[in-house]
Amino acid sequence: MIFPVSGVEANPFIPPLVAFLVSLMTAPAGVSGAFLLLPFQMSVLNYTSPSVSPTNLIYNIVAIPGGLYRFIKEGRMAWPLTWVVVAGTLPGVFLGSWVRIQYLPDPRAFKLFVGTVLLYLGVKLLFEFTGGSKNIKTKNKDLEKKFKDRVEKIKNETNQKIAAGIPADAIIKTKTFSLKQIEYEFWGDTYSFGTMTIFTLALVVGLIGGVYGIGGGAIIAPFFVSILSLPVYTVAGAALAGTLITSIAGVAFYSLLAITAVGSAANVSPDWTLGALFGAGGLLGTYCGAYVQKYLKEGLVKGVMASLIIFLALRYIIQFFFQ
C-alpha cells in the first residue's frame, strides 16, 4: 500500500503492529512511544520530510486515550501537575513546529537533533537504573515494598490470589495547588514541588517536542522521576495527558502552516492515514501498557527503555558524522 501524502510504501498491518509493541513497552513509564516511532518511520519507512513530525503527533492523538482512560479510572492522575504541564508545553510546541520548518528541514540535520534528544533521554534513564540516583531508588523500593505488603494483607484477608502491583486504594489526592506550589498525597506519602519549576520545564519540553514530533512526555516524565523524586506511578498519567493535548495543538498548527507559502514549500502536511494506523495500534498498546504497569517493576521498565533509546541515539549521531 502506498500512502500518497508521505510517499511511504508499506503493508498496512505493519504500522499498527509496530505501534502496539512500542506503546505496550513505553506506556507504563508515562510515555506514548512517539519518540521511538519517529526513528522507525525515518529509518525503516524512509519517511524523512518535515511532515513526519505532525504525522507522529497524530499517533499520539489516537493512541493516548486508551492508556489515559485507564489511569483516570484507577485514580492515578495528578491533575494539578497535568494542567501546569499543558499550560507550559502548548506555547512551546507552536514555537518548536516553526523551528522544525525553518531550521531543520534537512533530514540529516534532523536526525542529529533526534539522536541528541534520544541520547539525553537514554543516559538519564540509565543513570537511574544503574543506581546513580540512590535516594530516588531507595524511595521507589520503599514504595514497592508498601505495595507488596498491602497485596499480601489483602490476600490473607480475602483468601484470594491477586496480582502483585499497585493496590486499588493507592490513589492520588491533591493537597495544595497554587501558583507557588503543588502538593499531593500518594499511598501515605506527600510530594511537593514548585509550580513555576514545572511550567518552565514544560515550556522547554514543548519546544523540543514540537520540533521532534512528540508531545514531550518522553522528556518530562524522566525529569519528574529523577529530579523531583516523584514515583513513576503518579506522573505517568499526567505525562500522557499533557502529551495528548499538546499533540492536538501541534497537529493543528502544522496543518495551518501547510496552507501557507512556507509550509507548502517545506511539505509539512501530516499523513492522516499513516498516522491513524500507527495510532490504532498505539491505542490498544497504551491501554494494555497502563494496565500492566502495576504488575511491572519500575527498574525493568526503565532498563529496557534506556537500552533501546541509547542504541537509536548513537546510531543517528554516528550516521551524521560518518555518512
**Residue 48 carries which side chain, given as an amino acid letter?**
T
What string of H, E and C letters represents the secondary structure of the chain?
CEECCCCEECCCCHHHHHHHHHHHHHHHHCCCCHHHHHHHHHHCCCCCCCCHHHHHHHHHHHHHHHHHHHHHHCCCCCHHHHHHHHHHHHHHHHHHHHHHHHHCCCHHHHHHHHHHHHHHHHHHHHHHHCCCCHHHHHHHHHHHHHHHHHHHHHHHHHCCCCCCCCCCCCCEEEEEECCCEEEEEECCEEEEEEHHHHHHHHHHHHHHHHHHCCCCHHHHHHHHHHCCCCCHHHHHHHHHHHHHHHHHHHHHHHHHHHCCHHHHHHCCCCCHHHHHHHHHHHHHHHHHHHHHHHHCCHHHHHHHHHHHHHHHHHHHHHHHHHC
From first to last of the 323 residues of the chain, give the pLDDT tens digit.
899 888 899 999 999 999 999 888 877 766 778 888 888 998 899 998 888 888 989 988 988 887 788 788 878 788 999 999 889 888 888 888 888 888 888 888 888 888 888 888 788 777 765 555 555 555 556 665 665 665 566 555 555 544 445 555 568 888 999 999 999 988 778 889 999 999 998 898 888 888 887 777 777 877 787 777 787 778 888 888 888 888 898 898 888 888 888 777 778 888 999 999 999 998 898 888 877 766 766 667 777 777 777 888 888 888 888 76
- The pLDDT score that the predictor gives to residue 19 is 93
**How far is residue 311's CA from residue 198's CA, in Å, rounded to a whole number?**
29
**How far is residue 37's CA from residue 29's CA, in Å, rounded to a whole number?**
16
Instruction: Please report, for residues 124, 225, 285, 317, the alpha-carbon distance to residue 45 in angstroms, rounded to integers and kept in the order given.
Output: 28, 33, 21, 19
- The pLDDT score that the predictor gives to residue 164 is 45
- The pLDDT score that the predictor gives to residue 216 is 74
- Give which of 111, 68, 63 is closest to 275, Cα–Cα: 63
Using an 8 Å Cβ cutoff, are 128 and 230 in contact?
no
Q: What distance, in Å, lies between the first and last C-alpha atoms of the chain?
A: 30
Q: For the sheet containing 172-177, what is the strand order?
A: 172-177, 181-186, 189-194
- The pLDDT score that the predictor gives to residue 183 is 93
pTM for this prediction: 0.75
What string of H, E and C letters represents the secondary structure of 150-170?
HHHHHHHHHCCCCCCCCCCCC
